[in-house]
Amino acid sequence: MSITVLLGAQWGDEGKGRIADALASEADIVARFNGGPNAGHSINVGGKTVKLHQVPSGVFRLGCQNIIGNGVVLNPAKLLEEIEQINEAGAQATPENLRISENAHIILQGHIALDKAKEKTQGGIGTTQTGIGFAYADKAYRVGIRAGMMRDAEKFGDTVYKRTLEINAQLAAQNAEQVDAEMTGAIYTAMATQIAPYLADTSAILRDALKRGKRILAEGAQGVLLDIDHGTYPFVTSSSATIGGVMTGLGVPPQSISRVMGAAKAFSTRVGKGPMPTELDGEMALRLRGTGANPWDEYGSTTGRPRRVGWLDAVALRTAVAVNGITELALTKLDILTGIDTLNIATRYQVDGRSLDELPSDSEVLERCTPIYEQMAGWTEDVQNCRSFTELPANAQNYIRRIETLVKARITVISVGPEREQMIVR
């Protein structure tokens, strides 16, 4: 029984794509269990960066099966676009190597319109405006449309049409622009025929694969701190980005999980609103963010928004490790810290006269927390060509060891540059 889980251990954008791509080389199946087109997983193939949103990161590995699980919300138009992009990049996503759960819920144009309308109001939280929250709301409200219905394209299109009319009533009540229901119905009907061959009972596929000793990688989207239950609510996404999401989002037993890996950046970033105790502004923020000239600079891969940046938050990371049973961390973008004189790590928070060593569960309390920093000496040596831990400058080794002690997890993978091979595996 062997599922390796890869979770984002911060606020998303931890570099899960490239870690998943590396882990996929040892996997038979890569499965996405949560989120949807809000995710942006960048993979470097042949010197070019490809951004995956819904298709799992195993698609660039020959012989690797990819699964979009029931916990995902799927935008069919974006999926077809993505499949085309993958083909252009020299790989293939066909019904042979990509299976989509019949129970995944469909994102409608109306969900996107509702998301956009809400973001224009005071209640906006800085979503990716891809309809995520409203698609999951329909699922929870038991009026969602599941992918399996695409097998009957006419019925699917008609259901989409009817639900769109209901959504239009909501949009009208908000004076927001409505969606062309008839056109949407027609477009979704046409897409159903194209997507139907990909549909499958993916839980059954995964359970069968486990019986046959296959190696599965469960690829998380977003991050622990954006989880609907354990994140900084209400500044979160609408799915389970934590460990429980693997079981519900794929339909696999907990005993099948043999390894829980977290991906974390060597510093912190966040897009959208919500508390971020170690946030920086000024020169150091510009330094960490980059100018946007490189694809790995800190600008949203789904929305292009500049990301908020800050020092590494060991309090948040320690909580992420503890909540999910993370035993190993992949630390990404270590090279970005090269040349910074003094590095800060938040080791505890101070709030209301108390000192906390884990994230408070209330976002309003978190908003008032002041981080207590520990300072560490930086390094000036280029780390991009290091391929083993001992080749790293002594201060970089100290930084990594200190994080391990603070968050109580081993750092087994370290990325030291944007290229596929610029990675240290310990």
> Given the rule CB under 5 A, which residues bind Mg ion?
13, 40, 301
Cα R_g (the chain), whole angstroms: 21
Closest by CA to 135, choosing from 164, 157, 98, is 164
Instruction: Choose from Mg ion, ligand IMO, none: what does 160 bind? Cβ within 5-8 Å by kind.
Output: none
Instruction: Choose from ligand IMO, Mg ion, none: what does 277 bind? Cβ within 5-8 Å by kind.
Output: none
Instruction: Choose from Mg ion, ligand IMO, none: what does 97 bind? Cβ within 5-8 Å by kind.
Output: none
Residue numbers at the binding site for ligand IMO (CB under 6 A): 8, 12-13, 38-41, 125-128, 130, 132-133, 221-223, 226, 237-238, 271-272
- Among residues 13, 21, 115, 313, the one annotated as catalytic is 13
* 193 vs 210: CA distance, rounded Å: 30
Decide: helix, strand or coil at residue 296.
coil
Q: How far is the CB of 365 from Mg ion (least distance, A)?
A: 27
Q: Give the nearer residue to Mg ion in terms of CB position, either 29 or 263.
A: 263
**Tokens in use for 350?**
């101070």
* 80 vs 77: CA distance, rounded Å: 5
Q: Give the nearer residue to ligand IMO in terms of CB position, either 134 or 156.
A: 134
Closest by CA to 251, choosing from 75, 101, 36, is 101
* 8 vs 416: CA distance, rounded Å: 18
Instruction: Choose from Mg ion, ligand IMO, none: what does 56 bind? Cβ within 5-8 Å by kind.
Output: none
Which DSSP string do the residues of 93-114 spell out, in sequence order? --TTTEEEETTPEEPPHHHHHH
Relative to beta strand 41-45, strand 65-68 is: unpaired
Residue 341 bears catalytic tag: no
Q: How far is the CB of 14 from ligand IMO (least distance, A)?
A: 7
Q: How far is the CB of 378 from Mg ion (least distance, A)?
A: 26
Contact 277, 314 (CB under 8 A): no
Residue 13 bears catalytic tag: yes
Q: Give the nearer residue to ligand IMO in terms of CB position, either 39 or 250.
A: 39
- Among residues 21, 41, 53, 313, the one annotated as catalytic is 41
Bridge partner list, 410:
328
Q: How far is the CB of 38 from ligand IMO (least distance, A)?
A: 4
| Residues labelled as active-site residues | 13, 41
